[in-house]
């Protein structure tokens, strides 16, 4: 399974907005390997419907955007990080537009001959500041970035390549400060492990949604970057804060289709099975409360009434408005026999976004020299205990820009050490893949049942015990058999699940997305305190 080492100046893992932006910004200075586990367009960015938050209106201000972010983050955001990302947002948005991203515009009311950005509003925002491309914003951003990537001869894209583990000088047993020197990568088509060598490695691998039974994330969201960083000895923080999007389409054939928060931003209301609105009983902001509040309210209503779902109703806005503003959502719902211009949409919460991750600074730097983490995989301190809607694409864009600048400023390293080829040892081809499939299902059900929207210490301890047993089985399978993509992803998912539980057990309070019935109130002494897990120790 061994192959010749591939040498590059920059190794970028992931092809969403963070990875693509970084690759574009360093391409003029060296050869870039863009390594992505499926097709280059398969990313959470491509699935993003709502938009990207930034201050572009005279009616808005940086101070208001900062305030809204801090309010949603429930006392855990890093204020300096929030301010820097918010203030640097407009310049990065301008770059996206210059690259060819076509955000939706509208006529200027006072002058129909002119056009301006059409801004929408989402939960937790005090002003309209969400730039969007109808209801397929991520796909439009991904399109523009991939077109720019295709024009860069210095960028080589490796599709169907799944990173297995980071290679560092510490892992090779070399003296001196620890730095990254490469990555072991599984070629899913050739069924072999390849060595990629380079002095700069960027984790832009996205989130961990597939650790839960129900998620809005694509199948690729298996926490690969977080798991690799943890195995490399890096600190992982705030993994207990898993954002459940309140409104995922509830239909037996829909799987993971998200109903954008922008639908509520344009006036949709949530109704119970009895047809009555209920959000005003939970928060004065009703449907436009932050996601953690809305998701818990829906969960509470479903448990109180025994209903399988609740209903999102925008019929009062009229058919023309709905079809114009939400063409993709309208078309997708019609595929399942639901006409949202005439009837409410059945919805349930589903795992959506990872607010914690690999500990980095604002420039995406980790404790290992040359290793960066940007986008959802990273924990910069922007999101705190709950991400404000549409701040994710903003963070990825700003931090990718800053990481590229920092990477270009690094002193040129000496020629890296030789990386030994992947060793299969006595591993044989797996003979019972049903074990992998069974463990995958058990893991995701365990997380959904015990580490979901509402938790208790008893449930968390049960999850901890079951995950420990699963980890032992996975470890035995990993070392005994040749690797497969499913096995590698299962290995990463189990590691991520354990990290979520470990962080949740550290926090003796409820805050933001982490709600524990044993500690239903927030503890002021835990404000501004991150939960951190490092391999071999917890602190």
Closest of 136, 140, 134 to residue 321, by C-alpha: 134
Distance CA 183, CA 11 (A): 8
Could you tell me the sign of the dihedral formed by the alpha carbons of 265, 267, 273, 276, in that order? Answer: positive
For 118, 249, 386, 505, the CA distances from 289, given in Å and listed in that order, are 22, 19, 12, 27
Backbone dihedral angles phi then psi of residue 353, each to the nearest 5 degrees: -150, 140
- Which one from 40, 84, 179, 291 is the annotated catalytic residue? 291
20 and 36 in contact (C-beta within 8 Å)?
no
Judged by DSSP in three states, 287 sits in: helix
Residue matched to tokens 């805050």: 511
Which parts of 286-431 fold into alpha helices (H)? 291-305, 319-325, 327-335, 391-409
- Token reading at 13: 């893992």
124 and 387 in contact (C-beta within 8 Å)?
no
Distance CA 359, CA 376 (A): 11
Q: Given its phi and psi angles, is residue 255 left (phi above 0), alpha (psi -120 to 50 degrees) or beta?
A: left
Q: What burial class does residue 192 get, using C-beta atoms within 10 Å of its C-beta: 0-12 exposed, 13-18 middle, 19+ buried?
A: middle
Distance CA 38, CA 15 (A): 9
Element (H, E) at 196: strand 192-197
- Token reading at 401: 């820009």
First to last CA, the chain: 39
122 and 265 in contact (C-beta within 8 Å)?
yes
Distance CA 422, CA 434 (A): 26
CB atoms within 10 A of CB 524: 9
Return the axis-axis angle of helices 391-409 and 79-99, rounded to nearest 10°.
Answer: 90
Distance CA 318, CA 215 (A): 30
Residue matched to tokens 């201000």: 61
Is residue 40 annotated as a catalytic residue, yes or no?
no
Judged by DSSP in three states, 392 sits in: helix
Element (H, E) at 443: helix 434-450
Buried b (16+ CB within 10 A) or exposed e, 81-92: bbbbbbebbeeb
Catalytically active residues, by annotation:
291
């Amino acid at each position: 399974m061994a192959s010749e080492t591939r040498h590059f100046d920059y190794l970028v893992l992931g092809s969403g907005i963070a990875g693509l932006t970084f690759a574009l910004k360093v391409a003029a200075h060296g050869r870039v390997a863009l390594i992505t586990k499926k097709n280059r367009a398969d990313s959470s960015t491509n699935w993003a419907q709502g938009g990207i938050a930034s201050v572009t209106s005279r009616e808005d201000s940086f101070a208001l955007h900062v305030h809204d972010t801090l309010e949603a983050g429930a006392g855990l955001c890093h204020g300096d990080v929030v301010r820097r990302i918010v203030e640097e947002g407009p310049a990065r948005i301008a770059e996206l537009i210059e690259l060819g991203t076509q955000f939706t515009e509208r006529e200027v009311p006072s002058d129909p001959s002119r056009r301006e950005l059409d801004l929408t509003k989402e939960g937790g925002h005090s002003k309209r500041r969400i730039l969007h491309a109808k209801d397929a914003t991520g796909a439009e951003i991904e399109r523009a970035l991939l077109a720019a990537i295709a024009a860069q001869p210095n960028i080589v894209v490796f599709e169907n390549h799944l990173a297995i583990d980071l290679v560092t000088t510490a892992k090779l047993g070399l003296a001196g400060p620890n730095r990254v020197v490469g990555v072991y990568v599984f070629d899913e088509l050739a069924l072999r492990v390849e060595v990629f060598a380079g002095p700069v490695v960027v984790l832009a691998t996205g989130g961990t949604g597939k650790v839960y039974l129900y998620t809005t994330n694509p199948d690729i969201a298996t926490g690969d970057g977080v798991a690799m960083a943890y195995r490399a000895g890096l600190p992982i923080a705030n993994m207990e804060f898993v954002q459940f999007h309140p409104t995922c389409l509830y239909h037996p054939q829909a799987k993971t289709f998200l109903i954008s928060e922008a639908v509520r931003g344009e006036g949709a209301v949530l109704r119970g099975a009895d047809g009555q609105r209920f959000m005003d009983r939970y928060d004065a902001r009703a449907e436009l409360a932050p996601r953690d509040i809305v998701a818990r309210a829906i969960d509470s209503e479903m448990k109180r009434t025994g209903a399988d779902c609740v209903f999102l109703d925008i019929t009062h806005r009229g058919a023309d408005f709905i079809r114009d503003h939400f063409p993709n959502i309208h078309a997708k719902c019609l595929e399942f026999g639901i006409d949202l211009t005439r009837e409410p949409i059945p919805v349930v919460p589903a795992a959506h976004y990872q607010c914690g991750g690999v500990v980095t600074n604002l420039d995406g730097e980790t404790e290992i020299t040359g290793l960066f983490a940007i986008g959802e995989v990273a924990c910069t301190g922007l999101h705190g205990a709950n991400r404000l809607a549409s701040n994710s694409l903003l963070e990825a864009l700003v931090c990718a820009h800053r990481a590229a600048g920092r990477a270009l400023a690094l002193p040129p390293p000496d020629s890296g050490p030789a990386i030994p080829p992947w060793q299969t040892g006595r591993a044989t081809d797996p003979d019972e893949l049903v074990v992998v499939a069974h463990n995958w299902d058990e893991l995701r059900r365990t997380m959904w049942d015990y580490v979901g929207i509402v938790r208790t210490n008893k449930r968390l301890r049960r999850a901890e015990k079951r995950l420990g047993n699963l980890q032992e089985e996975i470890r035995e399978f990993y070392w005994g058999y040749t690797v497969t993509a499913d096995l590698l992803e299962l290995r990463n998912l189990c590691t991520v699940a354990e990290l979520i539980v470990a962080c949740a057990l550290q926090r003796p309070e409820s805050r933001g997305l982490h709600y524990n019935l044993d500690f239903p109130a927030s503890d002021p002494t835990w404000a501004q305190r991150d939960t951190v897990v490092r391999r071999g120790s917890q602190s």
